[in-house]
Amino acid sequence: MEATYSETRANFAALWDRVVDTRGVLTVRRRGAEDIAMMPASELSSLMETAHLLRSPKNARRLLEALNESLGDEEGDSQSVGALKKDLGFGA
């Protein structure tokens, strides 16, 4: 989504709602100035957290391996919640 500064100023509430509803990014252009982006704060927070987690090459590799494994054709072993709790040492 894109809008000029004037369009954004005139339709701020509607554009705000659209950004929140679509979880998208609105690029606001202003002549003679750098463009800015408007997005839901929770989306920005998620992006910043992801960037932080991927900063470490070792952690990035581990996370990407886990993602690739989860997207693979092979199904993982299923386990009941009770069995998982027992394996992790929670409860009796």
Residue at 63 is within a domain: yes
pLDDT of res. 76: 65
CA pair distance 58, 43, nearest whole angstrom: 25
Residue 66 belongs to what domain range? 40-71
CATH code of the domain containing 30: 3.40.1620.10
Inter-axis angle of helices 57-71 and 41-54, nearest 10: 110
Residue at 90 is within a domain: no
Q: What is the pTM of this model?
A: 0.64
pLDDT in tens, 34-81: 999 999 999 999 999 999 999 999 999 999 999 998 888 666 677 888
Nearest-5° Cα angle at 72, 70 to 78 = 55
> Which two structure tokens, joined as six digits, stand for 8?
């954004």
Question: Domain total for the chain?
Answer: 2
**Contact call for residues 18 and 1 (beta carbons, < 8 A):** yes
> Which two structure tokens, joined as six digits, stand for 3?
């809008």
pLDDT of res. 84: 84
pLDDT in tens, 13-26: 999 999 999 999 99
